[in-house]
């Protein structure tokens, strides 16, 4: 079968005619949709949303989609970070610290028994130093 012959044969196959009743409907709808009256008849909020969609979103839809995807990634990463930083993990850390303190106390007891010292009173925690007013600090310096 000759290539040109075949292509000519295809070219001779006529495509269906467009249905005649479409014409008026399509043109009428286009006219109505485009008329300022149709625009005005919509609520202001919908009109603003449509304008924003037409002018801002639709022409750059790929950029917006990309940005939305990026936000989704951020959101997922953030959610995962929150999960790893959850109260369960804090509880595990706290319980490990308590165990370590208990162990330290036991070791201290053993040490006291071995050395024969009786003083088992826990070491007083250092007193919290509170900031004093400037005038009091000056008096302290002078008295030295």
Partner 1 sequence: MRIRMRPGLDLQRLYDEHAQALFAFLLNFTRSEDDTREVLQEIFIKLARQPALLSGARDLRAFLLRLAHNSAIDLLRRRGARRKYHEQFGAEQLSAFADADTPDERAFREALAAALGELAEEQRAVVHLKIWEDLTFEQIAETLDIPPNTAASRYRYGIDKLRVRLRPLYDEIK
Question: Applying CB under 8 A, which of residues 4, 11, 37, 115 lies at the interface with partner 1?
Answer: 11
Q: Does 1 bind partner 1 (CB under 8 A)?
A: yes
Contacts (Cβ under 8 Å, ≥6 apart) of 38: 32
Interface positions, 103-142, toward partner 1 (CB under 8 A): none
Minimum Å distance from CB 22 to partner 1?
A: 6
Q: Does 15 bind partner 1 (CB under 8 A)?
A: yes
Q: Does 51 bind partner 1 (CB under 8 A)?
A: no
**Cα–Cα distance measured from residue 20 to residue 77, given in angstroms and rounded to the nearest whole number:** 57
Binding segment toward partner 1, per CB under 8 A, in 14-22, 73-81, 84-92, 106-114: 14-22
Contacts (Cβ under 8 Å, ≥6 apart) of 47: 39, 40
The C-alpha torsion from 13 through 14 and 15 to 18, rounded to 10°, is -170
Q: Does 26 bind partner 1 (CB under 8 A)?
A: yes
The three-state secondary structure class of 17 is coil
Q: Does 30 bind partner 1 (CB under 8 A)?
A: yes
Dihedral sign for Cα 105, 106, 112, 115, please: negative
Point out which residues bind partner 1 (CB under 8 A): 1, 3, 5-7, 9-11, 13-18, 22-24, 26-31, 33-34
């Amino acid at each position: 079968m000759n290539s040109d012959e075949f292509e000519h044969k295809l070219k001779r196959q006529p495509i269906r005619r467009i249905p005649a009743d479409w014409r008026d409907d399509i043109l009428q709808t286009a006219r109505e949709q485009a008329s300022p009256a149709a625009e005005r008849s919509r609520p202001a909020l919908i009109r603003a949303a449509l304008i924003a969609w037409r002018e801002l979103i639709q022409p750059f839809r790929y950029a917006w989609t990309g940005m939305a995807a990026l936000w989704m990634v951020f959101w997922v990463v953030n959610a995962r970070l929150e999960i790893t930083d959850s109260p369960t993990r804090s509880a595990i850390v706290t319980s490990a610290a308590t165990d370590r303190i208990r162990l330290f106390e036991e070791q201290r007891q053993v040490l006291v028994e071995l050395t024969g010292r009786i003083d088992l009173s826990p070491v007083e925690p250092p007193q919290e130093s509170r900031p004093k007013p400037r005038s009091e600090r000056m008096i302290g310096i002078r008295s030295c």
